[in-house]
Amino acid sequence: GFDFSHNPYEEEARKLYGDKAVDESNAKVKSMSKDTLNEAQEEMTRIYTNLASVRNTSPKSNEAQEAIKEWFDCLNHYFGNYSLEAFKGLGQMYVDDERFTKNIDQYGEGLAKFMCEAMAHFADTNK
């Protein structure tokens, strides 16, 4: 599941996206009601489960791109304003940082790699 009480990736996020973006995201999470946090956790779990179910298709397929758009929209809805470039960078972090890979691949082996490729394609084709 998703735990918003502690972010072990905050230091990397600050290096990648800057203090302002991370502070805004943290403020947004802290201002969420318990119901909204639960809603976000449920939505994220649903999206990851859906992505895991399509991970054996091409990351460029319509099915994969529709699923990854849901992830992009979810991040922007709950956590701040992700540019396409930031979204692509986040996907790269999913495979570059084994903590991300291990956590994401709990939903299905190879999901982190699939998401990285799908996020890159999404960012590159929606510029």
The CATH number fitting domain 16-125, selected from 1.10.490.50, 1.10.300.10, 2.60.40.10, 1.10.645.10: 1.10.490.50
The pLDDT, as a whole number, for residue 7 is: 60
- The reported pLDDT for the residue numbered 1 is 57
- Report yes or no: 63 and 54 within 8 Å, Cβ to Cβ: yes
Task: Output the average pLDDT for the chain.
Answer: 88
Does position 6 have pLDDT exceeding 60, yes or no? no
Give the closest residue to 59 by CA, choosing from 70, 50, 51.
Answer: 51
pLDDT digits (tens, 9 = 90+) for 55-100: 999 999 999 999 999 999 999 998 878 899 989 999 999 999 999 9
Instruction: Say if residue 25 is exposed, middle or buried (CB neighbours under 10 Å; 0-12, 13-18, 19+).
Output: buried
The residue extents of the domains of the chain are 16-125
